[in-house]
Chains A and B, each alone.
Chain A
Amino acid sequence: MSVHDSWRVDAREKVTGQARFAADLHIPGQLIGKVWRSGQTHARIVSLDATEAKKIPGVVKIMLAGDMPAHTTWSTYPFLAQGRVLYQGDAVALVAAESEEAALAALAQMEAVYEALPPVLSLDEALEESAPILHNSYPDNRVANSHWPVRKGNIREGFEQSDLVLEREYRTSHVEHAYIEPEAVVVMTDWDGSLIIYGSTQNPFNTRRAVAAATGYPLNKVRVVQQAVGGSFGGKEESVGLLAGRASVLCLATGRPVKMTYSREESVIESSKRHPFRFRYKVGAKRDGRLMALQAELVDEGGAYNFQAQFMNWRACVHAAGVYHIPNVEIDVYAVHTNHVFGGAMRGYSSPQIIFAQESLMDELAAALGLEPLALRRLNFLREGDETITGQILHEPVNAEKVTLRALDLADYERKKEAYRRQDPDTRQVGGIGFATCFRGCGLGAEAPDATGAILSVQEDGSIVVRSSLTDMGQGLQTAHAQLVARELGVSPARIVSKPVDTSLVPEGGMTVASRGTYSGGKPILQAVARIKQILLHVAAQKLECSAGELAMANDCVFRREDPSQKLSFAEVASAAFWSGHSLSVTEWFQPGPLRWERETGQGEAFPSYTYSCVVAEVSVDRLTGKATVTKLVSVHDAGRVVHAGAASGQVYGGMAMGVGMALMEGLNFERGLVTSTNFDRYLIPTAADIPEAVFEFLPSDGNSGAAGAKSLGEATVEAVPAAVANALAAAGYRLRTLPALSESLLKRERG
């Protein structure tokens, strides 16, 4: 890879310590805000007493539930709990003080009396007839709007036509985002009385919505300015909205700027987690391996409040059967409430969990049929022109088989598989190789409008500012966008400044989720570039006395294609255009065509395009200690046309590491509903020493719907990794149906 491929708009600032994260800001006169949390699993608040806390020198304001103008975000989270607390992270008081020390001292002096209520401690408990009801409006403990069914063909006949029927249950755990930067915001008022929020936020417009809800302010008086974000992966959404809402209320109540920074413990306690799932799959196949029927119940744990389960589960129902052609399908996905921390978006949304279950099932089915994993898959892979389980005909190239064959080839799969099969089963260290193939709907699909905006402005000196409505949280989106502009205008990236989101400057363009930053976010940028280009070429043509069609742009110049010596510098053209009264600032909006979806049957066009991926994993297990290690990962992604090779490969390696964590080590521990692994000493994530040898390839493909041919990639990189690792462990003799595959579970499981 050339050095140029690794160019990034913000790298220099980040290696010198200049990049400013929200916690780095210091506003003169600022107060420090803190949250006092319930620490209860499920309880009624009997009394709260701040008398002693108020006496601490430096304490400026204490607010208890009831002191706030509005009480919940758009979903059901309270900024401050009302009467009852539903999990340990629920806030019952807010403190603002002159210093961190005073604020913490005040928290230590707060007194509360609670009356414990019966808790719901797992998704199984939530489903029991006699389970305590957590939200009165949902007496069955099901999360609102979270049920998404898929009905296709005739499930009964499908099983009747099957020669073999296999039933399995799989489970996954609560996974923490573990971005290294804990959430932080600084809030102040502007001289016109509006609020300015500087924050580590993945979705500034959602943060703005939360602040408006907490303060009662109209949206135009709330301005959210995104700071450098120290990783998010889906996490800095709801929790940052809560944080910003609380800080704003304190700011207005005290008339002072307020800074709130979470400790790691608070971040773990009050930020969403990857939804844990329970999968019950029943699959039917012909003796030769043809899939005939799939029935599945997918239940995920939404936790105390309703956040994203309703969206997550839609994506889940679309992907529940994997990248296979199955004529008869009955799928039900729904989420339940418990007294645990809430589930939310995390890189891959529901897919890493689903692919683990569904690709484990494929391997188990292959074994039951006496087929090779590859043979079973090749017989059933979706192909161009096939219909998915949601009744969508795939018109674009379907590369499931291609990525699989390429990945297996790169991994030397066949030879290694044979070698592992011949290994001495009595040695201490045993190994295995396995793989998983998947697809991923690009962008938001039929879940929500995938519309978004951008502003591009060329200055009179030829420098360029690009602003997207979508955010960079470390994945390199600002760089990818600058790259698109540079490429299309034939200028060097150094000319371009790509700005983080400021809600007062760009149109609201939805959330930066679903790996849509480049795929959709690139579209309005390209539209804007096209408009600017037209103006610049028109102006240059006048100067060079030719037609615009004869001109080309490259190397920071506009020149005649026939005679490149007739040229103007980009800056000259920009200046001429500006001084002749042209607008060089363009706001563009991209709105995709509508997609059809029928809720009762789960039939319709789910996504315009799909990314196809295959991951091959090799593992080694120490039979005495049960410790499993991933020794090698190979992945091949059909991500269309890759816009920025450096950022894309960075996504792949990062996704692999996160997948290894989910497969082998990550799962929150609870004791009676309270998280016990609240910091990195007990919640372990992969370190440099845990990283396997990694190989990947992008399989270029055309004919999709993304900006400049790009498909969604960020999430595709992680989603098949846990499944591949699980299948590799199974090949080594350890078929585990619950993740993470901790040493304890491996030890317990008899090899065979």
Chain B
Amino acid sequence: MKKLITLNINGQEFDLAVSPRDLLVDVIRRKVGLTGTKKGCGQGDCGACTVLMDGRPILSCLTLAVACQGRRIQTIEGLSEGDKLHPIQESFVEHGAVQCGFCTPGMILSAKALLDRNPHPSEEEIKLGIAGNLCRCTGYKKIVESIAGAAEKMAEGEG
């Protein structure tokens, strides 16, 4: 039985017919057509499907779409404003933290959630903040550096 729901994704409302068992990741990718959210394991172990719900990171492969009504969902596509990259995105580019890029959207959203909650994290805190996001290419070092760099950028932006 399909159910009609409305999802607020990146500030836009989408009316969708979903089945109660549909997962948020599949709805975002297939029905809404935003494919920046990735699926790497389908069971909550890799973090590639991370999106923000009311500012908090969630694994969209473990979340039922029907449970997301009335919540604000943010995906990687909603992070930049037009051509202007978010400071975290900018920092990932500048630090060379991107290789194959498959983990990148989830990684950046986890980083955003971390910095929103803790604007000046230590290296350890950054590592813990992204410990749920697997990356096989980079060895994480430049990712950690770019998150630290982004924190600085964002602090400057405020000052």
Contact = CB atoms under 8 A, between A and B. Distances in A.
Interface of A: 1, 3, 5-6, 8, 10-21, 23-24, 26, 100, 177-182, 228-231, 233, 263-264, 473-476, 646-647, 649-650, 652-658, 679-681, 685-689, 691, 694
A646 B94 CA distance: 10
Given A11-B98, A12-B85, A654 B93 contact: no
Contacts of A687: 131-134, 140
B104 interface: yes
A1 B97 CA distance: 13
A473 B100 contact: yes
A540 B47 CA distance: 53
Contacts of B42: 263-264, 679
B136 A15 contact: no
A180 B102 contact: yes
A70 B85 CA distance: 49
B57 interface: no
Nearest to A645: B96
Contact of A15 (B89, B102, B130): B89
B103 interface: yes
A180 B43 CA distance: 13
Contacts of A182: 39-40
19 contacts: A11-B93, A11-B98, A14-B104, A15-B92, A16-B76, A17-B75, A17-B77, A19-B101, A21-B35, A21-B38, A180-B48, A231-B99, A231-B137, A263-B42, A264-B41, A475-B99, A680-B134, A687-B131, A694-B141
Contacts, number: 177
A652 B45 CA distance: 25
Contacts of B133: 687-688
Interface in B73-127: 75-77, 79-80, 85, 89, 92-96, 98-105, 108, 126-127
A653 B142 contact: yes
Given A228-B100, A231-B136, A650-B138, 5 more contacts: A15-B89, A16-B36, A21-B35, A686-B140, A691-B140
Contacts of B3: none
B101 A474 contact: yes
A13 B36 CA distance: 10
Contact of B33 (A3, A26, A653): A26
Interface in B11-44: 26, 29-30, 33-43
Contacts of A26: 30, 33
A93 B91 CA distance: 47
Given A17-B75, A649-B96, A687-B134, A656 B48 contact: no
Contacts of B79: 16
B93 A8 contact: yes
Contacts of A21: 35, 38, 102
Grouping DSSP codes into helix (H, G, I), strand (E, B) and loop, the B interface class, with mixed when no group exceeds half, is loop
Contacts of B136: 177-180, 231, 233, 654, 657-658, 685
A705 B159 CA distance: 53
A234 to B, nearest CB: 12
- Pick from A5, A13, A691 the residue with the most CB of B within 10 Å: A691
A680 B134 CA distance: 9
Contact of B128 (A650, A685, A689): A689
B139 interface: yes
B100 A264 contact: no
Q: 3 tightest A-B contacts by CB?
A: A17-B36, A474-B100, A14-B101
A650 B92 CA distance: 13
Nearest to A17: B36
B135 interface: yes
Contact of A650 (B29, B76, B96): B96
A11 B99 CA distance: 8
B77 A180 contact: no
Contacts of B108: 15
- Pick from A20, A181, A233, A475 the residue with the most CB of B within 10 Å: A181
B46 interface: yes
A653 B138 contact: yes
B40 A264 contact: yes
A655 B98 CA distance: 15
Contact of A688 (B26, B40, B102, B127): B127
Interface string B46-64: 1010000000000000000
Contacts of B75: 17
A15 B104 contact: yes
B146 to A, nearest CB: 9
B9 interface: no
A263 B141 CA distance: 28
Given A17-B77, A680-B46, A230 B100 contact: yes
Nearest to A689: B131
A486 to B, nearest CB: 17
B143 interface: yes
Contacts of A1: 96
Contact of B77 (A16, A231, A680, A689): A16
B148 interface: no
A577 to B, nearest CB: 32
- Pick from B80, B104, B128 the residue with the most CB of A within 10 Å: B104
Nearest to A472: B100
Nearest to B29: A24
B17 to A, nearest CB: 13
B144 interface: yes
A24 B135 CA distance: 19
A652 B100 CA distance: 15
A689 B127 contact: yes
A685 B139 CA distance: 11
Nearest to A646: B96
B76 A691 contact: no
Contacts of A680: 41, 43, 45-46, 134
Nearest to A232: B100
B141 A691 contact: yes
Contacts of B95: 6
Contact of B127 (A263, A650, A655, A691): A691
Nearest to B110: A688
A688 to B, nearest CB: 4
- Pick from B36, B48, B102 the residue with the most CB of A within 10 Å: B102
A415 to B, nearest CB: 25
Contacts of B140: 653, 657, 686-688, 691
A355 B66 CA distance: 53
A654 B100 CA distance: 11
A36 B144 CA distance: 41
A534 to B, nearest CB: 34
A533 B95 CA distance: 32
Given A15-B104, A20-B35, A688 B45 contact: no
B101 A688 contact: no
